Amino acid sequence: MIKKTMAALSMGLLMQLGVSCHQPIPADLSQVSLIPAPVKLKANGSSYLVSEKTTIYIQDNAGTDKLASLLSQQIESVTGLTLKVEKSDKAPAKGIYLAIDSETKLANDEAYDLNIGEHTIVLKANGPAGLFRGIQTIDQAIVKHNGEKAGWIIPTGSIVDYPQYEYRGVMLDVSRHFFGVDDVKRVIDLAAAYKINVLHLHLTDDQGWRIEIKSWPKLTSVGGQTQVGGGEGGFYTQEQFKEIVAYAGERFVTVVPEIDMPGHTNAAVVAYPELNGTKKKAELYTGTKVGFSTLATRKEVTYQFVDDVIRELSAITEGPYIHIGGDESHVTKEDDYVYFINRTKEIVAKYNKIMIGWDEIAHAAIDASDVVQYWAKDKNAVMGVEKGAKVLLSPSKRMYLDMKYDSTTHIGLDWAALIEVDQAYNWHPETLVEGIDKENILGLESPLWTETVETMDDIEYLVFPRLIGHAELGWSKPEHRDWNSYKQRLADHGQRLKAKGVDFYKSSLIPWNVE
């Protein structure tokens, strides 16, 4: 009798333990520090346990296998767990399921629908770009639970999300100081984690020409051999550039190459003096002054040069945009400048690309097929809108990542402003410039000029965390953009940045959680 009673008690205890071991851990999805803030979020109060038994399931669709691999890699980098990937035509009873569903009525190609249950996580999108954006949300939602039952969990609930602006970019100047392929890939990875979808590469300037043009080889053999301060410079071969484009494409980041013209062209005219539009002999330049160089805007050889450069660059650029610069061309007469932009616009269109230029190009005959990148003058941006062009917002007082945080910042410039983390975040794109409404805005872009930037640590210090705030401005609805909420969420991302080895600026305005 005693043995039977003990056996019954043991069985009951084991059953209780079994139930308790499988009891989901309470968690609140609304308290997870997601950046950018999603459009719609509903929390259910429970959690999904991520373990070594978790499997990622995918449809038998082209591209979803790479997305599953990326998700597995991102989860492993956070948890140390290696998840296997299997194929399935329908959502499984347990596991994570990635599904392209054309019947899912979502806002656009980057939108996603995420449902997190206690046993399954189902991520749906119209296409692979939406799945990738949703994967970044899953990655951010993984939480370490340190209670009695330690483990990695994802709070349950549902998210429907999509961006407010189609273009959300970061610009890297590789001309003032050159950065190699691996550094560019790291920038892509860090930016894509926050749903940034464009990388603008400033490839040419007075200090160096950074892209191989096979029909004009001296551009790199001569013009690519120095940089600010007299370093050795460098350039990308076309194969290396295609490698960058492909890597970015796998992360649904569009590469926008910039050839800055007709000013900022000293490196080009040193290589080919027949292109020089000044009476002074051009020499290799390692300083930081601007506005002293120009192409010969009335010579036909200049337009053969422009045509060859745009032709070769278009052939290795998968995205729709070519950036032609157009800023600070101080020694170019205004009528010569307008003539040049008008001719160059025709060449860009000839190769089926959309022309982007800094806001000065609004003085030329631009139209609805062009994009004006606002950086300095309101009147230029408004003029562009009046001519039908879309505007890309890069206000130097808010979005220039090369500006110092404060007067003590050890690198960076201050000619536009000192831009602390709150200054970078606390503004509204929709009301920034009178005469430019939301429907006129293509998106936002955060430029990093590299006069003082020499290493990857320098890039990370100036870019982060300000780019994260800009990412939220470009993705989230205005009513979801709130400084008090954002600074608390950003504080929790200190741990993520630290884990990735990012040398970010630890602003005193943020109550960082980095332990």
Give the per-residue SS3 of 314-338: HHCCCCCEEEEECCCCCCCCHHHHH
State residue 45 phi and psi, 5-degree precision: 90, 0
Residue-wise pLDDT tens digits, 244-258 = 999 999 999 999 999
In the predicted structure, residue 237 carries a pLDDT above the cut 70: yes
| 292-315 average pLDDT score | 98
The size of the chain, in residues, is 515
Catalytic residue among 243, 250, 328, 430: 328
Residue 22, pLDDT score: 57
pLDDT band at 104 (very low <50, low <70, confident <90, very high): confident
* Residue 365 DSSP label: S
Please state, in angstroms and as integers, the Cα–Cα distance from residue 333 to each residue in 94, 277, 278, 297, 338, following that order: 68, 10, 11, 9, 9
Q: How many Å apart are CA 291 and CA 200, to the nearest integer?
A: 21
Short-list 199, 163, 161, CA closest to 183 = 199
* Residue 362 DSSP label: G
Residue-wise pLDDT tens digits, 117-157 = 999 999 999 999 999 999 999 999 999 988 766 789 999 99
**Residue 202: in which H helix or E strand, if any?**
strand 198-202
In the predicted structure, residue 10 carries a pLDDT above the cut 60: no
Beta bridge partners of 160: 40, 113
pLDDT band at 89 (very low <50, low <70, confident <90, very high): confident
**Residue 346: in which H helix or E strand, if any?**
helix 334-350
Q: How many Å apart are CA 228 and CA 282, to the nearest integer?
A: 16
| Residue 272 exposure: Cα atoms within 13 Å on the Cβ side | 20
Q: How many Å apart are CA 246 and CA 244, to the nearest integer?
A: 5
Which SS3 state, helix, strand or coil, does residue 407 take? coil
| 449-476 average pLDDT score | 98
In the predicted structure, residue 19 carries a pLDDT above the cut 50: no
Residue 299, pLDDT score: 98
Residue 14, pLDDT score: 34
pLDDT band at 61 (very low <50, low <70, confident <90, very high): confident
Residues 6+ positions from 96 with CB-CB distance below 8 Å: 54, 55, 56, 57, 71, 83, 120, 121, 123, 138
End-to-end Cα, the chain, rounded Å: 55
Residue-wise pLDDT tens digits, 179-222 = 999 999 999 999 999 999 999 999 999 999 999 999 999 999 99
Residue 63, pLDDT score: 75
Residue 274 annotated as catalytic: no
Lowest mean pLDDT among 6-15, 175-184, 194-203, 482-491: 6-15
**Residue 339: in which H helix or E strand, if any?**
helix 334-350
Which SS3 state, helix, strand or coil, does residue 312 take? helix
Nearest 5°: CA angle at 172, between 169 and 176? 155
Mean pLDDT of the chain: 94
To which residue do tokens 């051009």 refer? 282
Residue 103, pLDDT score: 78
pLDDT band at 13 (very low <50, low <70, confident <90, very high): very low
Residue 101, pLDDT score: 86
